[in-house]
Amino acid sequence: MTEIDIMVCGICRKIKRVNMVILGRNICSSCEKEIVNAQAGDEAYGMYMKSIRDLFGSYAR
């Protein structure tokens, strides 16, 4: 298989290689890294958590 799957990243909205797909949404490797590295309380952390909630909120009920 030489096909490279690309999908819009659900967080940065850029076309990226498929990295981690959760509930049909891709989270690109750079966003994944940002999330992993963000500390609770950081501005970035809050932003990413909000993006994730917006993405997956409808599934979380």
Residue matched to tokens 């490279």: 4
Q: Which two tokens stand for residue 59?
A: 């599934």
Which of 7, 12, 38, 49 is the binder for Zn ion (CB under 5 A)? 12
- Which CB, 30 or 42, lies closer to Zn ion? 30
Q: Taking contact as CB under 5 A, which single stretch among the options 3-11, 34-42, 44-52, 53-61 is the one that binds Zn ion?
A: 3-11
Residue 54 CA to its chain's centroid (Å): 11
Chain positions 16 to 45 lying near Zn ion, rule: CB under 5 A, are: 28, 31
Region for residue 23 given its phi and psi (left: phi exceeds 0; alpha: psi -120 to 50; beta: otherwise): left
Write out the residues near Zn ion by the rule CB under 5 A: 9, 11-12, 28, 31
